[in-house]
Structure 1
Amino acid sequence: MPVGTPQPAIVLVRPQMGENIGGAARAMWNFGLDRMRIVNPRDGWPNQKAVAMSSGAGRLLDEAQICTSVAESLADCTYVFATTARARDLTKPVMTPEHAMKIAREKIAAGEKVAVMFGPERSGLENEDIAHANAIINVPVNPEYASLNLAQCVLLTSYEWMRGSVDVAPERVEMAKTNWATQSEVEALAHHYEERLDEARFFFPDHKADSMKLNLRNMWSRMPLTRADIQTLHGMMRQMVRWKNRAE
């Protein structure tokens, strides 16, 4: 059964290759979308190549709504986007995928039903298909090579849907079974190194010793050290001292 999350329907119009239908299903499910509608697939339905390519997203294909016309696929929708890579001589708003999915979220939140149409691989949507749409989605691509694979185009749109629907931190650190070091742990490390480097007469000449120690302390504080890092650095210094003592 489809998930209960309100979302746009993804409409594949006259797709030609089963592999691209399966790839589109996979791309949709990667980003939490599972409402697929297919209009007149060239090779009929069901399609085993689509199933093979879906790689775990086969449920979307099983539950896909198979339609005989674009009008049928959009009958229950109140707002429709059409994706196209080239100008169509039709007066419509043209949006980036990011902005289009923002509009889609607003309309779906208000109770409307939204669909996004994708055309066949060879030629894309026809003007007669786009005439059903309220707005156009145009992906900013290299103008010298504007052709996008069907599944890639579905993935871009699905990604923009999820990006605006969930709160994802722009950066995070994977803590590999450790925690950030405390100030006291960093201070102990700094003291350990100062003591051993002092014994090794690293802080030379004497009149520069204070500034060298300050630079060293500043270096430690600038590093995002974990407790594992602290233990490793203590161990490195202890081992170097042992090696020096054995050499003597």
Structure 2
Amino acid sequence: MPTDQPQPAFVLVRPQMGENIGAAARAMWNFGLDRMRLVAPRDGWPNEKASAMASGAGRLLDEAQLCDAFPDSVADCTYVLATTARPRGLTKPVLSPERAMRIAAEKIAAGEKVAVIFGPERAGLENEEIARANAIISVPVNPGFASLNLAQCVLLVAYEWMRQTGEVVHEEIATGRTGWAVAAEIDALADHYEETLDRAGFFFPETKADSMKVNLRNLWSRMALTQADVRMLHGILRQMVRWKQRGD
């Protein structure tokens, strides 16, 4: 069954290769999209090569809406975005994928239906199809090699959709099998080093000892330490002391 998430429909117009349809389905499902519409696939439908390429996203193909003509594929939509890399001589807003998906998210949140249309692999969308769109999506690519594979274009737009709907974590640090060290653990580590270094005569001259200890505490507080890091740093210091005591 389709997800309940409000989202745009991705319309593949006259796709030529089943493999590209399957790859587009995978790209959509990677980013939580499952509303695929197909307009007159060249090799007929269903397509075994599409199903093989879709892998775990095969249900998108099973539930894809098949349309004989392009107008039928967007008939229920209030806002249509056309993807194209070639200038068409049409007066129409040209949007980056980021801007386009921001607008799409706003319109869908307001209850509108949005479609993004993708043309066939060899020549892209016809002017008559682009003329029915409200705006164009243009991906900033190398002008000397602007042609994108169908599935690549689908993936780029789908990724921007996920970004605009707030589901992207832009930065995180994986802590593995351990959690972050708490303040008490950092304090105990600082005490261990301060006491050991004090015995070793590190805080010299005495007039600078207090500021050196503050700087050392500040060093520990600036470090993002996990509980495993703290245990390892305790162990390193203990082993160094044992080594010194053995006189090796």
Q: Does the TM-score normalized on the shorter chain lie above 0.5?
A: yes
Counterparts of 1:200 and 1:192, CA distance in 2: 12
- Is 1:91 the counterpart of 2:91? The answer is yes
- The separation in 2 between residues aligned to 1:144 and 1:206, in whole angstroms, is 68
For the residues of structure 2 that align with 1:197 and 1:26, how far apart are their CA atoms? 58
Q: Could you give the per-residue CA deviations for residues 100-146 of structure 1, whole angstroms, max 9, x where no partner exists?
A: 11221222223222111001111111112111211111111122221
Name the SS of the counterpart of 1:136 in structure 2. Answer: strand
The CA deviation at 1:236 is: 1.0
Bigger drift between 113-122 and 209-218 goes to 209-218
The CA deviation at 1:54 is 0.6
User: Aligned pair 1:116/2:116, yes or no?
Assistant: yes
Q: Which aligned pairs between 1:105-184 and structure 2 lie closer than 5 A?
A: 105-184=105-184
List runs of 5+ in structure 1 lacking aligned partners. none
Q: Quote the Cα distance in structure 1 between the aligned partners of 2:107 and 2:187.
A: 55
**CA shift at 1:237, angstroms?**
0.7
Residue in structure 1 matched with residue 42 of structure 2 by the alignment: 42
Task: Specify the alignment match of 2:64 in structure 1.
Answer: 64
Deviations 1:142-179 (A, max 9, x none): 22221111111111111111211234442223233433
The answer for the alignment partner of 2:80 in structure 1 is 80
Equivalent-residue separation in structure 1 for 2:4 and 2:180 (angstroms): 39
Task: Return the alpha-carbon distance in structure 1 between the equivalents of residues 30 and 110 of structure 2.
Answer: 25
> Equivalents in 1 of 2:206, 2:104: separation in Å?
68
CA distance in 1, matches of 2:235, 2:87: 65
Q: Aligned partners of 1:224 and 1:165: how far apart in 2?
A: 30
Partner of 1:201: 201
Unaligned runs of 5+ in 2: none
Map of 2:245 onto structure 1: 245
Which letter does structure 1 place at the counterpart of 2:246?
Answer: R
Q: How many percent of aligned residue pairs carry the same amino acid?
A: 72
Residues 70-102 of structure 1 deviation map (CA, whole Å, 9 limit, x = unaligned): 112122222211000121101111111112112
Give the whole-Å Cα distance in 1 for the aligned partners of 2:143 and 2:155: 20
Select between 190-199 and 155-164 the one with higher mean Cα deviation: 190-199
Whether the 8 Å contact between 2:15 and 2:119 is mirrored in structure 1 is: yes
Whether the aligned pair in 1 keeps the contact of 2:162 and 2:168 (CA below 8 Å) is no
Contact residue 33 and residue 158 of structure 2 kept, 8 A: yes
TM-score by length of 1: 0.92
Deviation at 1:214, TM superposition (A): 3.2
Deviation for aligned residue 1:233: 0.7
Q: Is the 8 A contact 2:9 2:115 kept in 1?
A: yes
Instruction: Provide Cα deviations, 1:161-208, integer angstroms capped at 9, x if missing partner.
Output: 121123444222323343332333222212211222233333445555
For 2:231, the equivalent position in structure 1 comes to 231
The DSSP-based 3-state class of the residue aligned with 1:80 is strand
Listed one character per residue, the Cα deviations across residues 29-54 of structure 1 (whole Å, up to 9, x for unaligned) are: 11111111111212222211111111
**Deviating more after overlay: 95-104 vs 170-179:** 170-179
Using a 3 Å threshold, how does the CA distance of structure 1 residues 67 and 216 change in structure 2: closer, same or farther?
same
Secondary structure, aligned partner of 2:56: coil
Q: Determine the C-alpha separation between the residues in 1 that align with 2:131 and 2:95.
A: 16
